[in-house]
Amino acid sequence: MTIAAHIDGGLAVHPLAVRFGARIEGVDLSALDDDTLAAVEAALVQYKVLFFAGQRWTAAQQVAFARRLGDLHRHPVFDRHRDADELVVFAYDETRRGANDTWHSDVSFVAEPVKYSILHAEEIPPLGGDTLWLDAEAAYDGLSAFLKDFLGNLTSEHFFFKNPTPDALARLLAEGDADARTAAFGPVVHPLVRTHPVNGRRSLYVSRAFTTRIPELTPIESDHVLRLLFEHLDKPEFHLRWQWQADTVAIWDNRSTQHLAVSDYFPARRRVRRAAVLGERPR
């Protein structure tokens, strides 16, 4: 059964799941007026992840659109686009397996993490290569009142090199002075439960990829609580799965979601490029 579209702020919105996710029709992201851009951003906060088909963007157009939403993050490690330093390129083929298949919120390891990610699909394998998102607000809502009270007093530490390989550790140690390394890679401490600055809703802000510990707890307590939360976030009722087509753009709100890219398509080719819009310090 297809869910009927409705008009929301002038946008044709097709909800994709019970809790979150929507497909937007009839919008050219390279030619938005200010009112339509504001409607897209409002829909983004409401639906958390939006999809736009048929967006034949150049790298420059993607950067120009992203800049209208805020300052852009330049990733310290991932490959950047040859024509646009602000874009990260994730390109995998028969020589390189996909490597983004762990739940995470983009760049949570800096003091003011990314609020929006904007991903353009350039080349998609014939089968596989889907992306999954989870609704971290719904996951918080699904906790008991007792656990919500307990977690509300805690923080979480985030670090890019949570489990560094020797090569990654060497790269980290070579990256400037200590302050520069921390600014680029963490570790940084955020609230374990963060409040969205626009809608006021609370969400879990821990991820398997980047959260290392809960500083207020002993190591064994921290490990057990994080394991419980990671298993809770794994519940399918919080998830949305998207099958890509080339020239589709996804925009998502990292303040209320996490995501992972399924690495099931090796040795096929998959190439996407991402802009990341910096946000505020989590509260």
Catalytically active residues are: 104, 106, 259, 274
DSSP string, 186-231: --EEEESEEE-TTT--EEE---TTTEEE-TTS-HHHHHHHHHHHHH
CA distance between the termini of the chain = 40
Q: How is residue 63 written in tokens?
A: 């950067």
Say if residue 187 is preceded by a cis peptide, omega within 30 of 0.
Answer: yes
Q: How is residue 27 written in tokens?
A: 């919008």
Between the CA of residue 229 and those of 204, 206, 232, 234, 254, what are the distances in Å?
Answer: 8, 8, 5, 9, 18
CA distance 141 to 131: 23
- What's the one-letter identity of residue 110? V
DSSP string, 26-41: S--GGG--HHHHHHHH
What phi, psi does 257 have (nearest 5°)? -135, 165
Q: Would you say 257 and 113 are in contact if contact means Cβ atoms under 8 Å apart?
A: no
